[in-house]
Amino acid sequence: MTTVAIVGTGLMGTSLALAIKSSNLQVDIVGTDYDSSARSGAQKSGAFKKVEARLASAVRGADVVVFATPIQAMREMMESAANDFEEGCVVTDVGSSKKAVLQWAEEVLPKHVSFVGGHPMAGRELSGPQNADGQMFKGKAYCIVPSVTAERAAVSSVTTMAEAIGAKPYFIGVDEHDSFVAAVSHLPFMMSVALMGTASKSANWEDIAQLASSGFGDLTRLASGDPVMHRDICVTNPEPIVSWIDAYIRELYDLRNMLAKEGGPDPETVESVFTEALDARARWTAGIYTTMDRLATDIPSFGESIGEMFMGRRAMEMQKKVFGGLKDDPANKK
């Protein structure tokens, strides 16, 4: 039986465990967390076969190890587990920034494992295993950023896991990942934090707060996110975030100048700005864009019959060791 060890049983780790458990992968899922309350909540979720108190106990014997801890804890966890990884183990993560994590993996992990960076583009502002949701990954992009030394079969194994939980594998370079994610994930929570600060620091906040409704609530929702997670993202990916903040400031300043125009704002110009934004969002929500051509086309999953032709017999044998069986699912029967 294949074993997947998930290091970190908070929101993401437990959600991933629930998703894998309900998938067509035939695996045992083991969890571990330094926080006893997180371990207790994970055990109650029913997602794990067992939840270990010690990192080594979870990692030993695992075919796949997923780091789902706060980003800055990953290097220490990798170092602590360095002597416990099995030969040929596939190591991955679900962190929101990738450059630092791949660098740590190269420096710390033993040569007999393959590291494949991962980042499912899914989440919630709530934290903890009690808020886990195994459906959270359905239809979402799952960024896959292999290390330069990763075995092809290891990349395919992470691809298989992403597909099994209903996500869409998205192959991307590390610099692209950190920049693009800064635009659509990191910038939004910085905007949310800034808006919350702008309003709540006003001397009139007591009165303003009584008028704040759904619009303000929607835009500040991300400010309710885990401060440790946000801290680690900012510390490990500052340059791209700063670049996108600068771009956002320029966009805001253009809007500011449009409204501050001498003689008053031009109604047609103002309306055209709103129309352009409305159209751009409508195209996005309808899936009308051309940058998703990386989706699950160039690296096959285990379940695809062309796998051996694509990767070669040796690589397929390695992958079968990792994700060696599928549950009896009618969809898998030819």
Q: What domains appear along the chain, each with residue ranges and CATH number?
A: 2-172+294-332 (3.40.50.720), 177-285 (1.10.3660.10)
Would you say 234 and 241 are in contact if contact means Cβ atoms under 8 Å apart? Answer: yes
DSSP string, 15-63: HHHHHHHTSSB-EEEEEE-S-HHHHHHHHHHT--SEEESSHHHHHTT-S
Residue 329 has pLDDT above 90, yes or no: no
Give the per-residue pLDDT at 124: 86
Phi first, then psi: give them for residue 333, nearest 5 degrees. Answer: -95, 130
Would you say 52 and 32 are in contact if contact means Cβ atoms under 8 Å apart? Answer: yes
Quick count: other Cβ atoms within 10 Å of Cβ 18?
24
In 3D, which of 98, 105, 115, 96 has the Cα closest to residue 11? 96
Would you say 62 and 84 are in contact if contact means Cβ atoms under 8 Å apart? Answer: no
Give the per-residue pLDDT at 182: 98
Give the tens place of pLDDT for each residue, 212-261: 999 999 999 999 999 999 999 999 999 999 999 999 999 999 999 999 99
